Amino acid sequence: MNSFYEFFSFADPNIRFVVIGAMLLTASSAIVGSFTFLNKKSLIGDAIAHAVLPGICLGFILSGTKNPVFLIGGAFLTGWISLMAVDFITTRTRIKEDSAIGLILSVFFGIGIFMLTIIQKSGNAAQSGLDNFLFGKAAALVGGDLYVFGSVAILLLVGVYLLFKEFTLLAFDKNFALSLGLPVKKIELVLTSLIVLAVVIGIQAVGVVLMAAILITPAAAARFWTDNIKRMILLASIFGALSGVAGAYISFTAPAMPTGPWIVIVISTIAMISFFFAPSRGVVSRLIRQSAIRKTINDENVLKTLYQLGEDNKDFLVKRHPLEILRRRKMPPKRLNKILNRLQQQGYLERSDAFSELTEEGKTRARRVVKIHRLWELYLTTKLNIAPDHVHDDADTIEHLLTPELEAELERVLDFPKVDPHKSEIPYDDLRNEERNTKYEV
Amino acid sequence: MIMDNEKKIRPALEVHDLTVAFDRKPVLWNIDLAIPQGKLVGIIGPNGAGKSTLIKSVMGLLPLSSGYIKLFDRNLNDVRNRISYVPQRESVDWDFPASVLDVVLMGRYGKLGLFKRPRKADRDVAMDCLRKMGLESFMNRQISQLSGGQQQRTFLARALAQQADLYFMDEPFAGVDAATEKTIIQLLRDMTNANKTVVVVHHDLQSVTEYFDWVIMLNTRLIAYGPTEATFTQENLQEAYGGKLTLLSDVGDLIRRERFPNREQPSKQQMP
Residues A153 and A79 occupy one common structural domain: yes
Measured torsion, CA atoms of residues B207, B211, B212, B216, in degrees rounded to the nearest 10: -30
Distance from CA of A171 to the nearest CA of B (A): 9
Q: b or e along B9-21 (b: 16 or more beta carbons within 10 Å of the residue's beta carbon)?
A: ebbbbbbeebbbb
Residues of A with Cβ-Cβ distance to B87 under 8 angstroms: 173, 175-176, 179
Q: Are residues A133 and A97 in the same domain?
A: yes
Query: Which residues are paired to A392 by β-bridges?
Result: none
Q: Are residues A304 and A177 in the same domain?
A: no
Task: Identify the helix (H) or strand (E) that includes residue A133.
Answer: helix A132-135
Judge if A140 and A8 occupy the same domain. Answer: yes
B221 phi-psi bin (left φ>0, alpha ψ -120 to 50, beta other): beta
Does A162 sit within 8 Å of B87, measured CB to CB?
Answer: no
Considering the domain architecture, whether residues A432 and A302 belong to the same structural domain is answered as no
Terminal-to-terminal C-alpha distance of chain B: 34
A302 and A395 fall within a common domain:
no
Domain ranges of chain B: 2-46+55-257
**Number of domains forming the structure of chain A:** 3
Instruction: Mark whether A17 and A32 lie in a shared domain.
Output: yes
Residues A226 and A97 in one domain: yes
Looking at residue A327, which CATH number applies to its domain? 1.10.10
Q: Residues A305, A391: one domain?
A: no
Residues of A in contact with B92 (CB under 8 A): 172-173
Where among A234, A253, A279 does a domain terminate?
A: A279
Q: Give which of A97, A56, A105, A102 is closest to A76, Cα–Cα.
A: A56
**What are the pLDDT digits (tens) for A277-305?**
998 888 898 899 899 999 999 999 999 99
A78 shares its domain with A178: yes
Q: Which amino acid, B61?
A: L
Residues ≥6 apart with Cβ < 8 Å to B99: A227, A228, B139, B140, B141, B142, B143
Q: Do residue A128 and residue A12 come from a single domain?
A: yes
Domain C-terminal end among A341, A358, A375: A358
Integer Cα distance of B129 and B136 in angstroms: 9
Q: How many CB atoms lie within 10 A of CB A215?
A: 32
Residue-level pLDDT, tens digit, chain B, 272 residues: 444 554 456 899 999 999 999 888 889 999 999 999 999 999 999 988 999 999 999 999 999 999 999 999 999 999 999 999 999 999 999 999 999 999 999 999 999 988 999 999 999 999 999 999 999 999 999 999 998 899 999 999 999 999 999 999 999 998 888 888 998 999 999 999 999 999 999 989 999 999 999 999 999 999 999 999 999 999 999 888 876 566 777 787 788 777 777 777 655 554 44
For A163, nearest residue in chain B (alpha carbons): B115
Give, in words, the CATH class of B2-46+55-257: alpha beta
From residue B267, give the alpha-carbon distance in Å to each of A171, B21, B69, B262, B271.
31, 12, 12, 9, 10
Put simply, the answer to whether B109 touches A232 (Cβ < 8 Å) is: no
If you measure CA to CA, which chain B residue comes closest to A166?
Answer: B114
d(CA A138, CA A98): 31
Whether residue A140 contacts residue A129, with contact meaning beta carbons closer than 8 Å, is answered with yes
Tell me: do A300 and A236 sit in the same domain: no
The segments of chain A whose pLDDT lies below 70 read: 1, 430-442
Domain region containing A367: 363-441
Residues of B within 8 A of A40 (CB-CB) are 93
Q: Complex ipTM, two decimals? A: 0.90
Residue A179: list chain B partners with CB under 8 A. Answer: 59-61, 83-85, 87
